[in-house]
Amino acid sequence: MSRFVLLSPNADFDHKLRQAVANGLRGAVQTIASDILPAGPQELFALLNQEQPEVLIIGPDVAAEEALRFAKVFDVQLPGLSIVLVSDADPAALLHAMRAGIRDILSPNADAAEIRVLLERACQSFATRNRTFDAPPAENSGKGLVVGVFSPKGGVGKTTLATNIAIGLGQIAPMSVVIVDLDLQFGDVASGLYLNPEHTVTDAVSPAAAQDSLVLKAFLTVHPAGIYALCAPPNPVDADHVTPEQVTHLLEQLAREFQYVVLDTAPGLPEIGIAALEQCTDVVWVSAMDIPSLRGLRSGLEVLRQLEIMPESRHVVLNMADAKAGLTVQDVESTIGAPVDISIPRSRAVALSTNRGIPVLQESNKDPAVKSLKQLVERFNPVWRTQAQRKLHRRVVI
């Protein structure tokens, strides 16, 4: 049975699609090389001589009106199917595509690697929707975990932790993780992941994206490790055009679409940061092993307790830990008034990976810091959370 069906007369794209599927995807491709699409599911399945595939890819070289007509019919009769449109549609046209039932948009110039990543997402979406149709929804089943990485002080490795958490979670749940850079003035997620995004947070909070999750997804940048990124704007002035209310709505949208939403935030507790904190299911508090950082973290935690916006699931990370720093874990815990959950030792491998724009968890690296980062990522694994809640906070050793 063909898992993917291409409806297009374009032979070059057909070749790229087959190459993408051959390099890591299960299933076969069947092509209907015509710019005239079948009238409905029965006509299509008769041509395929099989039952429903998982993903239909429409275009290129298919008229937009014909593609939208076809998608509307299938959205009514087979809403669980994933339909991908291959088009250079502008953001304004994406709203019409979404209303027609198209799940994703792919550029005709995409290479085989980009096509494979999108097809993985489409297959996962197909599986998720069909599970939803077959079983009653569980309580809060439509919301993913929102993991925020915070620190009152800058320079403690917050972005490094956020990008590695996202990469690690992407290994647990491929194509179900998005990292959002909410340090809107000076965010470094793009450089930390070696990305050059076409769109940023300012696009993602536009009215079109706020009203439509399909438009929002078009503004996400795909990372080769199988995650998505929403980066900060390149111009710090653009941060003034993003409001806390827009950030709240953005995170609500993403939590409905992804299993994990990872947030890298600005130092301190600006309005944007507090709005993000209120949406978090888990908060990672980061501190370096020095008195100014620890006192800053203590003050920040005290403020949040007074405001009563402290999430129940919190994870205190001592980053760049060094036994020769003159402080013990007991000193740290006494200063901040909370137990330390993860200690990440100072590491040349982590520093090198940050400078290269390749998170250390993206590569096979036997480094003590890698082990600690994996332990941190594991705290967001559903398997660990159901089995190890009694050990949520244990004293670490440096």
Query: Looking at residue 130, what is its pLDDT?
Result: 61
Q: What angle do CA 283, 165, 274 make, to 5 degrees?
A: 30
To the question of domain 145-391 being in CATH 3.30.70.20, the answer is no
- Enumerate residues 6+ apart whose C-beta is below 8 A from 395: 329, 333, 339, 340
pLDDT of res. 143: 83
Give residue 205's pLDDT. 92
State the Cα torsion 354-191-227-261 to the nearest 10°: 90
Q: Which residues of 318-327 are buried (b: 16+ CB within 10 A; e: fewer)?
A: bbbbeeebeb
**Do 2-134 and 145-391 fold alike per CATH?**
yes
| Cα three-residue angle 59-65-67, rounded to 5 degrees | 35
Residue-level pLDDT at 60 = 87
Average pLDDT, the chain: 83
Contact yes or no for 288/316 (Cβ under 8 A): no
**pLDDT given for residue 390 in this prediction:** 47
Q: Which pLDDT belongs to residue 393?
A: 54
In single-letter form, the type of residue at position 112 comes to A
CA–CA distance, 243 with 159 (Å, rounded to integer): 22
Instruction: Enter the CATH code of domain 2-134.
Output: 3.40.50.2300
Q: Report the pLDDT value the prediction gives residue 112, as an integer from 0 to 100.
A: 86
Site of tokens 């980066």: 231
DSSP lists the bridge partners of residue 147 as 262, 282
For the chain, residues with pLDDT lower than 50 are: 131-141, 390, 395, 397
Q: Can you give the pLDDT at residue 183?
A: 93
Domain ranges of the chain: 2-134, 145-391
